Chains A and B, each alone.
Chain A
Amino acid sequence: MTTTMKPGRFGVFGGRYVPETLMANLIELEAAFEAAWEDKSFKADLAATLADFVGRPTPLYFAERLSGEWGGRVFLKREDLTHTGAHKINNAVGQALLAKRMGKQRIVAETGAGQHGVATAAACARLGLSCRVYMGALDCERQQPNVARMKLLGAEVFPCEGGTRNLKVAINEAIRDWVAHPNETYYLLGSAVGPHPYPTIVRELQSVIGIEAREQFSRREGKLPDAVIACVGGGSNAIGIFAPFLDDKVALFGVEAGGDSPQHGSCTLAHGRPGVLHGAFSYVLQDGDGQITGTHSIAPGLDYPGVGPQHSALKDSGRVRYEIETDETALAAFHELSRIEGILPALESSHALAFARRYLRENKGKTVIVNLSGRGDKDLPSIMARSTGLPARDGGANAR
């Protein structure tokens, strides 16, 4: 299943472009992960944690009423039902176990929507590790419930005021912290981005989504779905559900955030150019001089000018199609799922839903699995602000 050509590369993409100070850590991490992944007792620990702490397997839910509305068969992979409410926990518990095994006591992480921060805080609390989370100041405002949750779980939350005040800035700060404390710190990266070995570690830990979904679907339906759809920020929930389907005759769609217009969002794969951001060679939203450009999305978890290197390779090979949904279509899908199925989806996941609706309009009667990567509780302040006409804290002013 692995599509890595040489270690750390997905075709031409990937690699590790970091300050020399971090190279020793990455080399150590790569060896530690490989050893852990071969170790039955580590795997057993992880499986038990996923079952009893995270609540896996998550259901594959047939959304019957929504299917009726949209004219096809829609299945939802219910990552929103995991402990802490998003797929991020699959990766957080896995890497926290790895950190503990490596003897690292201090965890730093970045977070956009706050879901990775909450998941990391929970995983650290459970293992008795110290946890500091960097979060853009804009995201702290628009995802207040998650800031409170992280603090209650014992994490220290560090708002980042610089620049775009979103996920990109949080990653910059987390990496700088790691550069300053390389020996004692484990950097628990939350998406399938960053220098090798992170994209591989995160994919392996998130593949549980796709492995379960494929099994659940084929047991129930006796075949494979026509399409699998997931939203793409850094790309972890998407690569997690895609990975086990890569060799199948199943259409795969990644959905990027178009913001308030498709030209002005965070559509890294659609509008970016290959370059280096946060340690990997991948598509990057940048200007002609190689400066990273500002992004915009109502969904903080998608509001990022980079993307995991394996997605760049999958785009270029044509195996996965990357599509765009806007703030508006995502919000419409949010409300539709809430009213028709009684499920409040995360705004990130709502982008995947919005594309599913469009896909079924153009491909009547098809069967799709949508990765419902998280629940929408965290988004209530920003959604309520919009529906009451208050100014939404959606970062429009910070996007270039």
Chain B
Amino acid sequence: MPADLNSTFDRLRAVYRKALIPFLVSGYPTRERFREVLRTTAQFADVLEIGIPFSDPLADGPTIQAASSKALAQGVTLEGTFAELREHYPKSGPPLVFMITYNQVLAAKNFIARCNEHRASGLIVPDLPFEEAGDLRAQCEKAGVALVNMIAPTTSESRARQIAASAHGFIYLISVAGTTGARGEFAPETLTYIQKTRALTDKPLCVGFGISKAAHIQQLRDHADGFIVGSALVNAIDAGKERELLDELRAACG
């Protein structure tokens, strides 16, 4: 049974810390560098999100699109990712969450069972809205893998309530309408929207899309339980400065 996300968030809440959830594109930028980045990131993360690259991602901006195509061009696959994690992910590492499109889930054999074997605590399927997720949710529940629900700024209040009610692990709060990508400042509406969602549920809320620096986390930290950092980390990896970024973000999360 994979590590339980609930206990991670309970533990963090007890000490007023926020979860740092770095996102890595599997196999990016090269096999060797990925192993190194994986080990470094594991030291800073409370939960680690691994994206399985896809040929046609819809919710990703230019940074993660480019990283995914580069990884795909090097032959990164779901099976290859499982094998890498088995060999190179520290046993004491934080819980893993996979990000994968629904078509890849459908194509994979015994996917949920395999996730379970490979210590995946959760799954994020960004193109599987709550209404269509019935089958996968049932399989996940049986296997003890959390299927992470998403809420967006465009989600109505009644819908957000339903989504929150069926949420497992944590709720992924999409910060702004848009694709993934590092951003400048967040508009005041973002804070209002996070506060409104906070009022709907006690379940852990983690904010993603655009979180790129400590100041973002400081601005939003009183209203959320965790922060997902993807594109900014890809940029830092490109510059060889992932440790510096993770250090800064870690400090902001407490």
Contact = CB atoms under 8 A, between A and B. Distances in A.
Going nearest first, the 3 A-B pairs with the smallest beta carbon separation are A290-B107, A21-B152, A290-B104
A276 interface: yes
Interface centre among B130, B151, B152, B153 (most CB of A within 10 A): B152
Nearest to A274: B106
A163 to B, nearest CB: 7
Contact of B108 (A20, A162, A290): A290
A17 interface: yes
Contact of B132 (A16, A163, A291): A16
A189 B93 CA distance: 45
A292 interface: yes
Contacts of B153: 21
Nearest to B126: A19
B196 to A, nearest CB: 15
A21 B103 contact: no
A59 interface: no
Given A275-B103, A276-B106, A289-B78, A21 B174 contact: yes
Nearest to A291: B55
A179 B179 contact: yes
Contacts of B103: 275-277, 284, 286, 290, 292
Interface string B43-64: 0000000000011111101000
Contacts of B78: 289
11 contacts: A16-B132, A17-B132, A19-B58, A19-B59, A20-B126, A21-B153, A22-B154, A163-B56, A175-B58, A276-B106, A277-B56
Interface string A16-47: 11111111110000000000000000000000
A56 interface: no
- Say which size band chain B's interface belongs to: 35 or more
Nearest to A17: B127
Contacts of B65: 162
A15 B107 CA distance: 18
A66 B126 CA distance: 51
A176 B102 contact: no
A290 B152 CA distance: 26
B30 interface: no
A252 B55 CA distance: 33
Given A16-B132, A289-B79, A292-B55, 6 more contacts: A17-B132, A19-B58, A19-B152, A20-B130, A23-B129, A290-B104
B58 A179 contact: yes
B129 A20 contact: yes
A15 B130 CA distance: 12
A286 B56 CA distance: 11
A168 interface: yes
A21 B154 contact: yes
B110 interface: no
Interface of A: 15-25, 162-163, 168, 172, 175-176, 179-183, 274-279, 284, 286, 288-292
Contact of A289 (B102, B107, B155): B107
A160 to B, nearest CB: 12
A7 to B, nearest CB: 11
Nearest to B61: A176
Q: Indicate the member of A22, A274, A279, A292 with the most B CB atoms within 10 Å.
A: A22
Interface of B: 54-59, 61, 65, 69, 72, 77-79, 101-108, 126-132, 150-156, 159, 163, 174, 177-179
Contact of B58 (A23, A172, A284, A289): A172
Given A18-B58, A288-B107, A291-B72, A23 B159 contact: yes
A24 B179 contact: no
B174 to A, nearest CB: 6
A122 B159 CA distance: 37
B127 A276 contact: yes
Contacts of A183: 154, 177
B129 A18 contact: yes
Contacts of B126: 19-20
A16 B154 contact: no
B69 A163 contact: yes
A286 to B, nearest CB: 7
A23 B154 contact: yes
B155 A20 contact: yes
Contact of B179 (A176, A286, A288, A290): A176
A381 to B, nearest CB: 28
A16 B108 contact: no
Contacts of A181: 177
A288 B163 CA distance: 32
A292 B102 CA distance: 12
A240 B58 CA distance: 28
A346 to B, nearest CB: 26
Nearest to B151: A20
Residue of A16, A25, A291 ringed by the most chain B CB atoms within 10 A = A291
B129 to A, nearest CB: 5
B101 A276 contact: yes
A233 to B, nearest CB: 17
B129 A176 contact: no
Contacts of A290: 54, 101, 103-108
